[in-house]
């Protein structure tokens, strides 16, 4: 669906719901992360790109503090809340994400009152493609413009992260929101999650005759939630034991020595430290390769990243491992899981001419293994959040 068709649809549905047309329509994308996983809560580096899939929201201000929220993707009527009386973790289901953004903006002292919101999304939910960040960022951008707050994309991303962490209660890093807010067409976003400094790195796959496939395994293993908190705690323990503010401060050249100094820590802490420090290094490697125009050479770095997530961080699963082995056996240049793991999605770098055959090989491997058929589509590096009308 083109953006203008999506905007028409959402504006029309808005009018049907609320009795008048919206003041504006905005879009914010989902993302995949090229490299740098579980690094963003270690002050490290990440490299996401925005997908063409977006959450589109039609929004109007209100003169009172009533918040009316509706999603075309949820079989539930309008959720009505009071912007002036929002309480963190009050469990309003999906509506907690946009309500949390209103809460975070108001907590930060911004003069945001009521709003009517209706949205629809093409970002698959729960597939590790950050439909939650798309929902938060589109809400934040709309309110920023309607209420004239003048906040930058990075400032909106930080407030959206606060909404997810403190209002919804999900302990995520800032990568997803920064990607949805700040990515640009034809680029990957090199982001330093310590100071949020960023650089748009040209990632023009089509010009190179390449494709980056997203393989959504359509599974989500229950293990994920507790595992994330445990990895995070382990990384913090590692940083404490090494006397650094965050694992980002351990230079890759000193990784061996650092692991030696962690002899008294658990095996898990050592593994987590090895993953984070080496994945930060892999981000630097990928940057250097992309700057040199050597996109094909990124492939092996992706495979190394996957092995590290599988063997050291242990956040992969049979379905994600199968994407990598089947794609590589079919001649892909590289592949790895992306996002938090335990299901969700993987990415595969392929020659454009091999894309269909690779997708077929992965689908067949899933059928042979008795897994659900995966959903496969190309990740076209797309623009971040923007106004449609
Ligand atoms: P991911 O961000 O990887 O897609 P999450 O579990 O973080 O997965 O976020 C998914 C949740 O975000 C959904 O369960 C729902 O509550 C909310 N959400 C995302 N997109 C929409 C949408 N279009 N409409 C309503 N809720 C949505
Ligand atoms: Mg999410």
- Domain ranges, ordered by start, for the chain: 3-201+382-387, 203-378
Residue ranges with CB less than 5 Å from ion ligand 2: 132
What CATH fold (topology level) applies to the domain 203-378? Answer: Alpha-Beta Plaits (3.30.70)
At residue 11, the pLDDT reads: 98
| Token duo for residue 292 | 């040199």
Q: CA distances (Å), 200 to each of 41, 185, 317, 382, 383, in order?
A: 21, 9, 31, 12, 11
Q: CA distances (Å), 136 to each of 67, 105, 152, 157, in order?
A: 15, 11, 15, 8
Residues of the chain with pLDDT under 50: none
At residue 22, the pLDDT reads: 98
Strands 375-378 and 115-121: unpaired
At residue 17, the pLDDT reads: 98
At residue 308, the pLDDT reads: 98
User: 0.95 exceeded by the pTM?
Assistant: yes
Q: How far is the CA of 55 from the centre of ligand 1 (A)?
A: 10
Cα dihedral angle (83, 87, 90, 94), rounded to 10 degrees? 40
Q: How far is the CA of 104 from the centre of ligand 2 (A)?
A: 17
Strands 115-121 and 48-61: antiparallel
Q: Which of 176, 280, 312, 354 is catalytic?
A: 176
With CA atoms as reference, report the closest residue to 204 among 185, 179, 183.
185
Residue for token pair 């050249």: 253
Pick the CATH number of 3-201+382-387 from 3.90.950.20, 3.30.450.40, 3.40.50.740, 3.30.230.10: 3.30.230.10
Burial 2-13 (b: 16+ CB within 10 A, else e): eeeebbebbbeb
Instruction: Tell me which residues have their CB closer than 6 angstroms to ligand 1.
Output: 55, 71, 73-74, 94, 97, 119, 121, 125-132, 135
At residue 213, the pLDDT reads: 98
Q: How far is the CA of 256 from the centre of ligand 2 (A)?
A: 34
> From atom 3 of ligand 1, which residue's Cα is the shortest distance away?
128
At residue 226, the pLDDT reads: 87
At residue 225, the pLDDT reads: 75
Q: How far is the CA of 362 from the centre of ligand 2 (A)?
A: 25
Q: What are phi and psi of 287, to 5 degrees?
A: -55, -50
Catalytic status, residue 176: yes
| Token duo for residue 304 | 């190394």
At residue 92, the pLDDT reads: 78
> From atom 18 of ligand 1, which residue's Cα is the shortest distance away?
132
């Amino acid at each position: 669906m083109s953006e203008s068709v999506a905007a028409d649809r959402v504006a029309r549905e808005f009018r049907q719901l609320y009795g008048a047309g919206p003041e504006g329509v905005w879009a914010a994308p989902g993302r995949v992360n090229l490299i740098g996983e579980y690094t963003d809560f270690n002050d490290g580096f990440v490299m996401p790109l925005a997908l063409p899939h977006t959450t589109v929201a039609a929004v109007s201000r209100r003169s009172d503090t009533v918040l009316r929220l509706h999603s075309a993707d949820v079989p539930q009527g309008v959720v009505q809340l009071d912007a002036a009386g929002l309480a963190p973790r009050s469990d309003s289901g999906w509506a907690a994400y946009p309500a949390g953004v209103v809460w975070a903006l108001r907590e930060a002292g911004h003069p945001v009152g009521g709003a009517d919101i209706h949205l629809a999304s093409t970002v698959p939910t729960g597939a590790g493609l950050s439909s939650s960040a798309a929902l938060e960022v589109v809400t934040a951008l709309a309110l920023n413009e309607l209420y004239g707050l003048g906040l930058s994309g990075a400032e909106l991303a930080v407030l959206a992260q606060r909404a997810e962490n403190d209002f919804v209660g999900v302990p995520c890093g800032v990568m997803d929101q920064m990607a949805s807010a700040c990515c640009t067409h034809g680029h990957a976003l090199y982001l330093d999650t310590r100071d949020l400094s960023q650089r748009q790195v040209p990632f023009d796959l089509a010009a190179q005759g390449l494709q980056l496939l997203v393989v959504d395994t359509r599974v989500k293993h229950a293990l994920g939630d507790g595992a994330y908190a445990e990895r995070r705690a382990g990384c913090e323990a590692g940083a404490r034991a090494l006397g650094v503010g965050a694992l980002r401060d351990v230079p890759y050249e000193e990784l061996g020595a650092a692991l030696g100094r962690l002899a008294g820590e658990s095996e898990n802490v050592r593994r987590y430290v090895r993953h984070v420090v080496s994945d930060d290094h892999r981000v630097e490697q990928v940057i250097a390769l992309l700057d040199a125009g050597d996109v094909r050479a990124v492939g092996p770095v992706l495979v190394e990243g996957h092995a590290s997530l599988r063997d050291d961080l242990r956040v992969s699963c049979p379905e994600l491992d199968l994407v990598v082995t089947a794609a590589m056996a079919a001649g892909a240049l590289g592949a790895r899981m992306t996002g938090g793991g335990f299901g969700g999605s993987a990415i595969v770098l392929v020659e454009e001419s091999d894309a269909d055959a690779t997708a077929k090989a992965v689908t067949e491997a899933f059928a042979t293994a008795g897994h659900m058929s995966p959903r496969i589509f190309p990740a076209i590096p797309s623009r971040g959040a923007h106004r449609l009308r």
